[in-house]
Structure 1
Amino acid sequence: MKLFKGRRRAKKIDQELGKGLWRQAHDRYVRGLDRYHQILDGVDDDAVYNQLVLIGDQLAEQLPRVYELCRRGELEFPATEMQIPQGAHALHSGLSRAANHVATTAEAEAMVRLSNGQLDAVRHRASQVLDSLSDAESVFK
């Protein structure tokens, strides 16, 4: 049953996000989020782990927001390839920066895990994700 459910979900994503630019933007965010959670699994200090979980939860809570931005992007600025359609630069830029910041949040988290970084750096990177998503949303306001 899970196989068919996964296929239905993938088909729905393809229909709503397309297979080009907006799907890539969504998938980049998801990969960064997955990486964050992979790194989290190796944190031994319970207090640090708990703080990192809160940050990770905040980033994960943005996934529906990212999906909706990408869905609206495909709806209003269809893209079958990787070229950014006219008028979609600010939206794509905000989504791209958000995905990059998720990746740098995971890097900062890895430094904390290795006792070479600070939780404040992870928090700062996570706030940049939120700021970038707000920038992307401004296209639709």
Structure 2
Amino acid sequence: MAIFGAFRAAKRDDGELGKGVWRRAHDRFRRGLDRFHQMLEGVQDEDLRAALVPIANDLADLLPRVRKVCRRAQNIAPSESLDVPAGRFPAVHRELTKAGNALATAAEAVAMVRLQELPPDAVGRRAAQVVEHVAVAEVLMPAEST
């Protein structure tokens, strides 16, 4: 049954996000979010965990926003390849890519905090960069034509 659900989700994603750059940007962000939560699961110190859970929740709240940007971009400038559509879309794609990369860096920071090689506030700083890139992508997104 889980396989069928995953298949349906993939078909829905294909329909909403296409199979090109917008789908890749969304999937990159989702993978980074999954990795962040995997790193968080390994945190044994309860105080540190309590400090990181709100950050994880804030990052998870970004996924629907990223999906919305990618879905709108696919509606306005469909992509079924690795070519980023012209116009303002390269800047939108760049910010989404930076958000995904910053999220991966935030996950890495959690791992480094677990090893006590970074202070805990480093995770918050990296998470703030993720939020910033998503917000910029939203602002750069052209208005949908009707």
User: Normalising to structure 2: TM-score of the pair?
Assistant: 0.92
Give the equivalent residue in structure 2 for 1:116. 117
Name the amino acid aligned to 2:45: D
The DSSP-based 3-state class of the residue aligned with 1:81 is: coil
Q: C-alpha root-mean-square deviation of aligned residues, in Å?
A: 1.1
Give the equivalent residue in structure 1 for 2:23. 23
Residue 32 of structure 1 pairs with residue 37 of structure 2: no
1:90–1:135 CA contact under 8 A, matched in 2: no
Give the equivalent residue in structure 1 for 2:42. 42
- Stretches of structure 1 lacking an aligned partner (at least 5 in a row): none
Which stretch of the first structure deviates more once superposed, 61-70 or 1-10?
A: 1-10
User: Normalising to structure 1: TM-score of the pair?
Assistant: 0.95
Cα-to-partner distance string for 1:33-55 (whole Å, 9 max, x where unaligned): 11111111111100001111111
Name the amino acid aligned to 1:102: L
Could you tell me how far 1:124 is from its partner in structure 2?
0.6
Q: Distance in 1 between matches of 2:55 and 2:8?
A: 30
Give the total of aligned pairs.
141
Name the amino acid aligned to 1:49: R
Give the equivalent residue in structure 1 for 2:135. 134
Task: Give runs of aligned pairs for residues 1-141 of structure 1, distance below 5 A.
Answer: 1-87=1-87, 88-140=89-141
